[in-house]
Amino acid sequence: MLMLRRWSVRHAATLGRLYRWGARWMPRLAPLVRGLGTERSERLLRPLERSGKGLFFDCRMCGQCVLGHTGMACPMNCAKQLRNGPCGGVRADGGCEVNPGMRCVWLEAGDGRRRIEGSAQAPWLPPLDHRRGGQSTWIQVIAPDPQVPGVEPLQPQRAANSASTAAPPPASALEAVLRSGRFVVTVEIAPPDSADPSALLARAWPFRELADAINITDGAGGNCHMSSVAAASVLAAAGFEPVCQVACRDRNRIALQGDALGAAALGVRNVLCLTGDDVSQGDHPQAKPVFDLDAVNLLGVLHGMTARGTYASGRALEQPPRLFLGATANPFAPPYAQRVDNLERKIDAGARFIQTQFCFDLDRLRAFMDEVCRRGLHRRAAILVGAGTLSSARGLKWMAEHVPGVAVPDAVIARIAAATDQKSEGRRVCIETVQALQRLEGVAGVHLMGHRNEATLAQVIVEAGLRPAKPTIAAALPA
């Protein structure tokens, strides 16, 4: 099956032509379908479609076939069932984050699209309508039912990001500081495994007056912790500026929209939309991954709530939430050439700030940012580049091998391994990266990460000259 799937992508140009010819020709069968009735036609077409497309494309019969937009690679074979991939966890050899033995479906989609369209850049595809699962798409091509949702690409929500429209007042303090042009500092902390908020506040405390906002992860790595909405609201109540991370892995579109309203009601204004790591690497590998939406469609849905005041269903909200929406990007995972396409789609869907994966490779970041600036994307969304430090070369190596989407060049690991004080050397590498980011065109700030490494990150902020030392931090710094 895999061989045939590969064959189909290799012959995507021919199959694409056949596909388009079929789409033009099939409507001639409409009188036949009307004569037989929809149900009987569906019963006839379904097995034909299942076996034909199953053989060539390993088709999973989602009922909303988008092969024409995905280079003849069926996106239902993506382990996260993304309609807008790839995710940030693609392995260095192109293997899937979840099933390393399988090449990422979205790399295949890129290859196929290049053969058909001459460009790998996929359009923004709408979310799945799960009611259609197992049904025929062909019948919709022959005799479209206006009640059945289409699969046509969605249009960029340019109005929200356009420089030509008068900017609404900032939705959050983070948005305000980004608009001021100051080099922004955000940090990421993990919420505790505790019902006591004091552990969370203790982690946030080192960043008071040093960071412009604090991200709260949402079940990072598929591990269970205090909910990100609740933790973000605890921080907001304590006077911090939180960024609530929302992963599509654990909730469907009903819960995600409810959480967005709840977050806004609790004073949380910054929401970072992620697809999320798979459950297989976490502490509950037996859990059901949801992935009802992907990050791009979650952005689209939340943008609809904030800008149009409607749920995804179209039902009006009594009071729309005021949210500053963000997304992630990973310039350090393949397919490198498509990473800016991926970013552009997220901005089209409504992202106004971007936080990237850890940067240990400035050359790769420079290539990414050159293209970002060439397309003017840095003017439509603020780009905050991820940086961080671990206390040893061994820890870094482990992260590079086990954390999806993190790439650490061997030279960086060797430099830290050769140092007598590996922790200090790791911090020095991080400071050098932060200082290089300040000089890089299009970069609006830095996003610092490091698991339970708050004191070191606070030290990096001060030593990199991003913010003056607080009296408490200054006292802790070496002379």
Q: Which residues bind ligand SF4 (CB under 6 A)?
A: 78-80, 82, 85-87, 89-90, 96-98, 104-106
Contact (CB, 8 A) for 174 and 436: no
Pair 321, 261: CB distance under 8 Å: yes
- Dihedral angle sign, alpha carbons of residues 92, 98, 101, 102: negative
Closer residue to ligand SF4, CB minimum distance, 178 or 295? 295
**C-alpha to C-alpha distance for 479 and 262, rounded to whole angstroms:** 46
**Cβ 333 to ligand SF4, closest distance in Å?**
9
Bridge partner residues of 273 (DSSP):
246, 327
Q: In Å, what is the CA distance from 300 to each residue of 6, 69, 71, 159, 297? A: 32, 19, 23, 13, 5
Closer residue to ligand SF4 (CB): 228 or 275: 275
Q: For residue 38, what are its two tokens? A: 């929809």
H/E element holding 479?
A: none
Give the nearer residue to ligand SF4 in terms of CB position, either 62 or 105. Answer: 105
Place of tokens 């497309």: 53
User: What is d(CA 312, CA 302) in angstroms, rounded to the nearest whole number?
Assistant: 8
Give the nearer residue to ligand SF4 in terms of CB position, either 96 or 396: 96
Instruction: Please work out, in degrees rounded to the nearest 5, the angle formed at the alpha carbon of residue 226 by the alpha carbons of 223 and 227.
Output: 95
CB of 297 to ligand SF4, least distance (A): 14
Which residue's CB is nearer to ligand SF4, number 76 or number 236?
A: 76
Please return the burial class of 424, using the count of CB atoms within 10 Å of its CB with bins 0-12, 13-18 and 19+.
middle
Q: Which of 402, 441, 416 is nearest to 360 (CA)?
A: 416
Min CB(331)–ligand SF4 separation in Å: 16
Q: CA 159 → CA 206, 279, 299, 323, 380, distances in Å?
A: 38, 36, 14, 16, 11
Q: How far is the CB of 108 from ligand SF4 (least distance, A)?
A: 9
Minimum CB separation from ligand SF4 for residue 215, in Å? 22
Q: Is 37 exposed, middle or buried (0-12, 13-18, 19+ CB in 10 A)?
A: exposed
State the alpha helices, DSSP H only, in 375-464. Answer: 393-402, 410-418, 422-438, 454-463
Q: How far is the CB of 291 from ligand SF4 (least distance, A)?
A: 9
Give yes or no for a contact between 74 and 86, defined as CB atoms under 8 angstroms apart: no
Tokens, residue 126: 């709408």
Minimum Å gap between C-beta 84 and ligand SF4 is: 9
What's the residue count for the chain? 479
User: Which residues are CB-neighbours of 428 under 8 A, at least 6 positions away?
Assistant: none
Q: Which is nearer to ligand SF4, 12 or 243 (CB)?
A: 12
Q: How far is the CB of 201 from ligand SF4 (least distance, A)?
A: 35
Nearer to ligand SF4, 98 or 351 (CB): 98
Report the residue number, 88 or 426, with the smaller CB distance to ligand SF4: 88
Q: CB of 82: closest distance to ligand SF4 in angstroms? A: 5
Taking the least distance from each CB to ligand SF4, the nearer of 86 and 112 is 86
153: left (phi over 0), alpha (psi -120 to 50) or beta: beta
State the residue for tokens 């940086």: 387
CB of 466 to ligand SF4, least distance (A): 33
Q: Token match 């902390």: residue?
A: 189
Give whichever of 86 and 126 is closer to ligand SF4, judged by the CB atom: 86
| CA 78 to chain CA mean position, Å | 15
Shortest spacing between CB 318 and ligand SF4, in angstroms: 37
Nearer to ligand SF4, 82 or 384 (CB): 82
Strands (E), 148-269: 184-189, 213-216, 242-247
302 residue type, one letter: L
N- to C-terminal Cα separation, the chain? 64
User: Judged by CB, which is closer to ligand SF4: 15, or 82?
Assistant: 82
* Minimum CB distance to ligand SF4, residue 77 (Å): 7
